[in-house]
Amino acid sequence: MKKKAFGVLTFAALALSLGTTMAPQASAAPAAYTCASGQLCVYENANYTGSVYIVKDDLSDFNSAALHYTNGNPLQDSISSVINNTGQCVEFSTDSGFGGSHQYYTRYSRTAAVAYNDEFSSVDRYNC
Ligand SMILES: [Ca+2]
């Protein structure tokens, strides 16, 4: 009896071990969003990975507008990379109301790691 019980336990331990090994693949992040022509895309993580939000207008306060990525996480103080596929220039600011420190992007530009990681609170799109 003891031997059989040991065998079952070993199998369970092996299954648990395999499950743990398989977990990273099973929970792998979905493919990063491909920013389409005409879109201004902000990403939660660097290198255009993580969840995404498409900026369609000027946004003076991410927090009060309760803006969030497609995965539900808040936009406030979390943007890490940007793709600007629009013909407009863009100014990101670390405070609401376009205050604080700023980072500017020209038309059709991108940055894999923004200057103020996880600090942006507002964004202004403007003709340039
Ligand atoms: Ca981030």
| Per-residue pLDDT reduced to its tens digit, 11-35 | 555 455 555 544 445 455 566 899 9
Which phi and psi angles does 86 have, rounded to 5°?
A: -115, 165
User: How much distance in Å is there from the Cα of 106 to the middle of ligand 1?
Assistant: 21
Confidence of residue 36 (pLDDT cuts 50, 70, 90): very high
**Cα 74 to middle of ligand 1, angstroms:** 10
Q: Which one is the CATH code of 40-126: 3.20.20.150, 2.60.20.10, 1.10.357.10, 3.40.50.1000?
A: 2.60.20.10
**Residue 1 clears pLDDT 80, i.e. is over it:** no
Q: What is the pLDDT of residues 76-100, one digit of tens each?
A: 999 999 999 999 999 999 999 999 9
**If you ran DSSP here, which 8-state letter would residue 20 be given?**
H
Distance 126 CA to ligand 1 centre (A): 24
pLDDT at site 32 = 81
Contact 90, 114 (CB under 8 A): no
pLDDT at 9: 52
Tell me the two tokens of residue 37: 């022509």
Q: 5 CA to middle of ligand 1, Å? A: 49
Secondary structure of residue 12 in the 3-state scheme: helix
